Amino acid sequence: MRRSFIHSTGTLVSGLSRHRPRSFLPALNVAASRHVSPPQTRRLIHSRATDFLPINLPDWTDSQRSVREAIAKIVSKYPDEYWMDHDTEHKFPWELYKDLAANGWLGICLPEEFGGSALGISEAAVMLQTISESGACMNGASSVHMNIFGLEPVAKFGTTEQKERWLPPLIQGQERACFGVTEPNTGLDTLKLQSTARREGDYYIAKGSKIFISTAQVAQKILLLARTTPLDKVDKPSRGLSLFYTDLNRDAVKITEIPKMGRSAVDTNVLFFEDWKIPAEDLVGGFNAEGDGFKMILHGMNAERVLVAAEALGIGFAALRRASQYAGERVVFGKPIGTYQGIQHPLAECWMQLESARLVVYLAGRMYDEGYTGGEYANAAKFLASEAAFKAAERAIMTHGGMGYAKEYHVERYLREATLSRIAPVSAEMIKNYVGQQVLGLPKSY
């Protein structure tokens, strides 16, 4: 049973009595209302695409609508101009980050006994979609994504002592973490990664490299996957990898930022390390968990796909909102361009594609929260949402004509950010491989 509720100020409050009678709970109670509302007496229709952060999405639960409303209040303080400036100047969005931390949102999915709110992926997806949809896109979502979800392997597999040590500072926003999995030589072939960690007394000595590690410039901690038993000494390749949550020691780790196409408010980096002494107590799960790291990382993957899909949806809806507004106002050949079907119909298609992706995203989130462990819906959600978002951003540019290519209408930034959701954390091709093999039963080609 979940116990958090959302105060009318937009603050997420945890720790209410589990046994409090339902009728005494506050009006915006999340705990009591995770199920879809009973049939409405009035017909609840989807808001117009031009509305700013619409609340009345017909299939959402009351708790999801409450999250939407509360997060919308916060993100409305950070307009598109804020994000354009932070993207152009490569500035981390500390103001939003601190605002969300101060209002209790960073621990939305983490256990209550460590200060979190123990809500589900269904609610976290709403939170991240709403941040993204405000025009913050991945710049906003990625600034908190790791706090929201990255430490799920620790919450699930960490010892009590580790959770007490690591989760509260993360939830309170005092510590930031980055996620170190991808490597330059092995890419998506994670099981072949080459970074090693060798046990020596009370330490592991780590050596290797990582690439595309987001937020390493501002993080104090890293969740690091490294091989502790050589590949030729394990019975299967998924064994022998270990997960560490440790200080990102800048004396031992060389961190170099990668200039990139977009999402530039949040840094992405190459890491090189040699003779990096990691305390053995920082092995997630304790001493007996050496070699179990891949299993721990896998645990969080479906949820992460749902969250990234929700972030992509946010970009798509933001793009569609700007495109529809512009199409309604811009007059060429004597009429608003939205009158012309060459402009209107592609936008109508974008709405239908985004909405169908949204239904799969929130279905996958609900299934995850109810304990479903298969990956087909989470993968499909990530694929459909990122493709729909990319298409909506591209159509938004075309709708704006020359102004779509200018920075002041923001849609070129949306397109750059929508591109990222197609690549990370898993590419469209690997999702199709998964569906081809796992759903259709076709042979593996690699």
Whichever of 56 and 185 has its CB closer to ligand FAD, that residue is 185
Whichever of 288 and 445 has its CB closer to ligand FAD, that residue is 445
Q: How far is the CB of 30 from ligand FAD (least distance, A)?
A: 29
Q: Are 140 and 417 in contact (CB under 8 A)?
A: no
* DSSP characters over 174-196: S--EEEE---TTTTT-GGG---E
Go through the chain and tell me how many residues it has. 446
Binding segment (CB under 6 A) for ligand FAD, from list 75-83, 108-116, 152-160, 425-433: 425-433
Two structure tokens written together for 267: 């840094």
Q: Is residue 419 a contact residue for ligand FAD (CB under 6 A)? A: no
Which of 319, 265, 222 lies closest to 96 in space, CA to CA? Answer: 265
Residues in binding contact with ligand FAD, number by CB under 6 A: 23
Q: Is residue 307 a contact residue for ligand FAD (CB under 6 A)? A: no
Strand, helix or coil for residue 75: helix
Q: Is residue 268 a contact residue for ligand FAD (CB under 6 A)? A: yes
Helix (H) / strand (E) element for 247: namely strand 241-247
Contacting ligand FAD (CB under 6 A), which of 53, 71, 181, 241?
181
Q: What is the DSSP letter of 29?
A: B
Mark 225-264 with x for binding to ligand FAD (rule: CB under 6 A) and - for no binding.
-----------------------------------x--x-
- Rounded-to-integer distance, Cα 346 and Cα 351, Å: 9
Q: How far is the CB of 190 from ligand FAD (least distance, A)?
A: 9
- Rounded-to-integer distance, Cα 41 and Cα 403, Å: 44
Binding segment (CB under 6 A) for ligand FAD, from list 121-129, 212-220, 232-240, 384-392: 212-220
Which residue matches tokens 């009678």?
21
Whichever of 146 and 350 has its CB closer to ligand FAD, that residue is 146
Give, as ranges, the residues between 140 and 179 that touch ligand FAD (CB under 6 A).
178-179
Contacting ligand FAD (CB under 6 A), which of 125, 285, 420, 422?
420
Using the CB atoms, write b or e for 121-148: b if 16+ within 10 Å: bbbbbbbbbbbbbbbbbbbbbbbbbbbb
Q: How far is the CB of 221 from ligand FAD (least distance, A)?
A: 13
Whichever of 127 and 426 has its CB closer to ligand FAD, that residue is 426
Taking CB atoms within 8 Å and a gap of at least 24, the contacts of 350-355 are 350/316, 350/319, 350/320, 350/323, 350/388, 350/391, 350/392, 350/395, 351/49, 351/320, 353/384, 353/387, 353/388, 353/391, 353/392, 354/313, 354/316, 354/317, 354/320, 354/385, 354/388, 354/389, 354/392, 355/46
Q: Is residue 359 a contact residue for ligand FAD (CB under 6 A)? A: no
Q: Is residue 439 a contact residue for ligand FAD (CB under 6 A)? A: no
Binding segment (CB under 6 A) for ligand FAD, from list 67-75, 274-282, 365-373, 416-424: 416-424
Q: Is residue 193 a contact residue for ligand FAD (CB under 6 A)? A: no
Whichever of 372 and 434 has its CB closer to ligand FAD, that residue is 434
Q: Is residue 429 a contact residue for ligand FAD (CB under 6 A)? A: yes
- Rounded-to-integer distance, Cα 320 and Cα 389, Å: 9
Q: How far is the CB of 210 from ligand FAD (least distance, A)?
A: 6
Whichever of 116 and 262 has its CB closer to ligand FAD, that residue is 262
Contacting ligand FAD (CB under 6 A), which of 352, 359, 423, 442?
423
- Rounded-to-integer distance, Cα 414 and Cα 132, Å: 10
Q: Is residue 102 a contact residue for ligand FAD (CB under 6 A)? A: no
Whichever of 265 and 323 has its CB closer to ligand FAD, that residue is 265
Q: How far is the CB of 382 from ligand FAD (least distance, A)?
A: 12
How big is the CA angle at 353 (ends 347 and 356), to the nearest 5 degrees? 140
Helix (H) / strand (E) element for 383: namely helix 376-400
Strand, helix or coil for residue 47: coil
Contact set with ligand FAD (CB under 6 A) = 178-182, 187-188, 212-214, 260, 263, 268, 420, 423-427, 429-430, 433, 446
